[in-house]
A and B are shown apart, each in its own frame.
Chain A
Amino acid sequence: MSWRYLVRRILLLLLVMWTAATINFFIPKLSPRDPIKERLQLAATQGGRNQTGLQAMADAYAHQYGLDQPLWKQYLHALLKVVQFDYGYSISQYPRTVNSVIGDALPWTICLGLVSILIAFVVGTVLGALLGWPRSPGWLRALVPVSMLTSAVPAFVLGFLLIYLFAFRLKAFPLAGAYSQTANPGWSLSFAGDVLDHAFLPAMALVLFQMGGQALQMRGLMVMTVGEDYITFADAKGLRPQRVFLRYAVRNALLPQVTGLVMSLGTFIFSTVLVETLFAYPGLGGLINSAIQVLDFNLLYGITMILVFAVCIATLAVDLIYPLLDPRIRYDRR
């Protein structure tokens, strides 16, 4: 792979981060809402304190956050902070930093999200490969409309239906949360079982939704691949059908499928956030939800930037690994 391509990709990554940071910086400036003042007002009304000195307090906070500086200074400062991965203090959980609040929530989201996306990818790809293989048994074809249904119905609707059926009606799984309130968090077998019990339904909703799409896409790729001449040739040579299926058809159809996985990361984050909200799961989704309620935009900003960064890195990684998987792809020849 050429250096030119690598440089281009890294430039693109920086451009994405810069655009996201810029949007995130300027949007709050356009908004008529002032989160610090709203927060102080809330504190004043709840604490029963009088409202005098509120403006002075807001000014003091503004000074602390550097909001009394000229706009261009604030902007450069914000960009510098993004580079340093420092998103300041959370407005709603004040003495804590945004990084520590996100640090608590991130493992839940990563476990739930990564495990479901991997299961969905593997199962969906195998299913799609079988659906696109002409010699598969006929009953398998009944799964095509099923996967169309699950990939079209939004994950949060699937999640709600699962809650109704398995948690509310059958009482087989808990309704919400990541572990029981009576449980004792720690590295024990019983706690792990409790966590799995709670993660099952949200993971199921995400897997069903993602899997249908993966299966349909893989099926389409298989149908195209099976039509190629080298498959006919491999058949004519008398190779065993399993070998033609795995080494000739699946292997070649798999590559665009990997890119498809990265392209779907954005929608996957969207679904994860909504499913976590639905299940009151203590991950980033739940955090976004509570940050919206009190307009903790430092926190929202931090979450956005971390997820943008994660998606960028994943895209770059797959693009760089891609030529290793597929010798036909050469970036420098374009």
Chain B
Amino acid sequence: MVTPATTSMTMPGRQAWTGRAGSFLRYVRRNPLLAVGLIIFLALVLFSTAGSFLVDTVKAPYPLAAPASLAPSWDYPFGTDAQGRDMLAVMIVGTRLSLKIGLLAGSIGLAVGIVLGLISAFYGGWIDSAIRWIVDVMFTIPSFLVMVVIASLLQQYISIENMAFILAAFAWPGPTRGIRAQVLSLRERQFIQMARLSGMRGPEIIIRELLPNLAPFLLAGFVGALIGAVYGALGLELLGLGSQREPTLGMTFFWMQKYSALLRNLWWWWGIPIAIIILLILSLYFISFALDEWANPRSRRSA
């Protein structure tokens, strides 16, 4: 694969970015999966942000805000739960909180991954071996169990931000490994060597040449880390390890289990959060599936 990268050799930074955006948009048009995923995801984001104009987010998603166990009606379109939370408000705030945990943990994971991946690939030597060993170790440890231990010890003190930090502590090995491999393959290409010959310095090369070319991988890595964090948060919350006060999606699942919503036939209490969890995870999954193909054209499947 030593074909000279003629197109990107003379491509300046800004044009590379707009070129990327253009090819991304063309890719969205061609790939229905990505389009469907993005539409569902943006709809959920819109629901959780614009929705707060519809309901009182300070009182309604908390207990005793409404009569208990009401089926959906005009006053409470999603019904209320056994402790008198307005389910519409719970879903609006809960989706936002779950997204917040995911985005926070995913961004931290990706940021650490970029830094460690770049250091590992650029400096090599013992730094590279050390980082590779740590990443290998982190991959082998079933991180969920360690998170359970941490979260159960912090239980009463856990907040949305703490939750995100716990998840972020295990969200970086994937991006680190991926980015390291990509940088290693990119830095041998000719346009990087050209940049080096033309007198560009290390940081300049990274910002103007490497990062634009890494964009697809960064995006795919970010969505991957986001899925991991949303999943992890749901799992911890299902065990009752989330913030007991905040109405996140996972905690709603936990409460409806604890108060056996199924046996009491309160279908709206479990049906609506499950529907939103499925929509959220499916949309992220579709986006990540499509982005992986965009980032790795070799694995692109001819339909």
Contacts A28-B153, A154-B231 given; does A220 touch B142 at CB 8 Å = no
Q: Which of B140, B142, B146, B234 contacts A24 (CB 8 A)?
A: B146
Chain B proximity of A15: nearest CB distance (Å):
5
Chain A proximity of B303: nearest CB distance (Å):
10
Task: Find residues 125-147 in chain A having any chain B CB closer than 8 Å to their own CB.
Answer: none
CA distance A325 to B263 in the complex (A): 50
Residues 154-168 of chain B, each 1 if its beta carbon lies under 8 Å from chain A, else 0: 111100000000000
- Asked whether any CB of chain B lies closer than 8 Å to the CB of A223, the reply is yes
Chain A proximity of B226: nearest CB distance (Å):
14
- Asked whether any CB of chain A lies closer than 8 Å to the CB of B278, the reply is yes
Q: Give the residues in chain B near A303, CB-CB below 8 Å.
A: 145
- Asked whether any CB of chain A lies closer than 8 Å to the CB of B281, the reply is yes
Residues 106-117 of chain B, each 1 if its beta carbon lies under 8 Å from chain A, else 0: 000000000000
Chain A binding surface SS class:
helix
Q: Is the CB of B149 within 8 A of A154?
A: no
Q: Which of A24, A224, A265 contacts B149 (CB 8 A)?
A: A24
- Asked whether any CB of chain B lies closer than 8 Å to the CB of A307, the reply is yes
Which residue of chain B has the shortest Cβ distance to A141 in the bound complex? Answer: B303
Q: Which of A15, A156, A289 contacts B137 (CB 8 A)?
A: A15
- Asked whether any CB of chain A lies closer than 8 Å to the CB of B69, the reply is no
CA distance A306 to B227 in the complex (A): 27
Contacts A266-B143, A277-B238 given; does A220 touch B301 at CB 8 Å = yes
Q: Is the CB of A223 within 8 A of B301?
A: yes
Contacts A12-B137, A19-B137, A295-B152 given; does A307 touch B145 at CB 8 Å = yes
Q: Which of B146, B152, B238, B282 contacts A149 (CB 8 A)?
A: B282
Q: Give the residues in chain B near A28, CB-CB below 8 Å.
A: 149, 153
CA distance A15 to B138 in the complex (A): 10
Task: Find residues 1-34 in chain A having any chain B CB closer than 8 Å to their own CB.
Answer: 12-13, 15-16, 19-20, 23-24, 27-28, 30-33
Q: Is the CB of A304 within 8 A of B277?
A: no
CA distance A210 to B157 in the complex (A): 34
- Asked whether any CB of chain B lies closer than 8 Å to the CB of A292, the reply is yes
Task: Find residues 268-303 in chain B having any chain A CB closer than 8 Å to their own CB.
Answer: 270, 274, 277-278, 281-282, 285-286, 289, 299, 301
Q: Is the CB of B137 within 8 A of A153?
A: no
- Asked whether any CB of chain B lies closer than 8 Å to the CB of A168, the reply is yes
Chain A proximity of B40: nearest CB distance (Å):
12
Q: Is the CB of B153 within 8 A of A270?
A: no
Q: Is the CB of B278 within 8 A of A27?
A: no
Tally of A-B residue pairs with Cβ under 8 A?
A: 128
Interface size on A, residues (CB 8 A): 55
Q: Is the CB of B142 within 8 A of A266?
A: yes
- Asked whether any CB of chain B lies closer than 8 Å to the CB of A315, the reply is yes
Interface size on B, residues (CB 8 A): 41
Q: Is the CB of B281 within 8 A of A152?
A: yes
Q: Is the CB of B274 within 8 A of A295?
A: no
- Asked whether any CB of chain B lies closer than 8 Å to the CB of A230, the reply is no
Q: Give the residues in chain A near B281, CB-CB below 8 Å.
A: 152-154
Q: Is the CB of B141 within 8 A of A31?
A: no
CA distance A163 to B274 in the complex (A): 13
Q: Is the CB of B140 within 8 A of A16?
A: yes
Residues 143-168 of chain A, each 1 if its beta carbon lies under 8 Å from chain B, else 0: 00000110011101100110110001
Q: Is the CB of A308 within 8 A of B141?
A: yes
Q: Is the CB of A157 within 8 A of B150?
A: no
Q: Is the CB of A270 within 8 A of B235?
A: yes
Task: Find residues 124-152 in chain B having any chain A CB closer than 8 Å to their own CB.
Answer: 133, 136-137, 139-146, 148-150, 152
Q: Give the residues in chain A near B149, CB-CB below 8 Å.
A: 23-24, 27-28, 297, 300-301, 304
Task: Find residues 229-267 in chain A having any chain B CB closer than 8 Å to their own CB.
Answer: 263, 265-266
Q: Give the residues in chain A near B289, CB-CB below 8 Å.
A: 148
CA distance A223 to B300 in the complex (A): 10
Residues 58-79 of chain B, each 1 if its beta carbon lies under 8 Å from chain A, else 0: 0000000000000000000000
Q: Is the CB of B142 within 8 A of A12?
A: no
Q: Which of A15, A160, A289, A308 contacts B239 (CB 8 A)?
A: A289
Known: A12-B140, A153-B282, A270-B144. 12 other contacts (CB 8 A): A12-B137, A19-B141, A32-B157, A156-B235, A157-B274, A164-B270, A168-B263, A224-B299, A269-B144, A292-B155, A295-B152, A312-B140
Q: Could you list 17 examples of A-B contacts with CB < 8 Å?
A: A12-B140, A20-B146, A27-B149, A148-B289, A153-B278, A153-B282, A156-B234, A156-B235, A161-B274, A266-B142, A266-B144, A269-B145, A278-B238, A288-B145, A295-B153, A297-B152, A315-B140
Binding site for B on A (CB under 8 A): 12-13, 15-16, 19-20, 23-24, 27-28, 30-33, 148-149, 152-154, 156-157, 160-161, 163-164, 168, 175, 220, 223-224, 263, 265-266, 269-270, 273-274, 277-278, 288-289, 291-293, 295, 297, 300-301, 303-304, 307-308, 311-312, 315
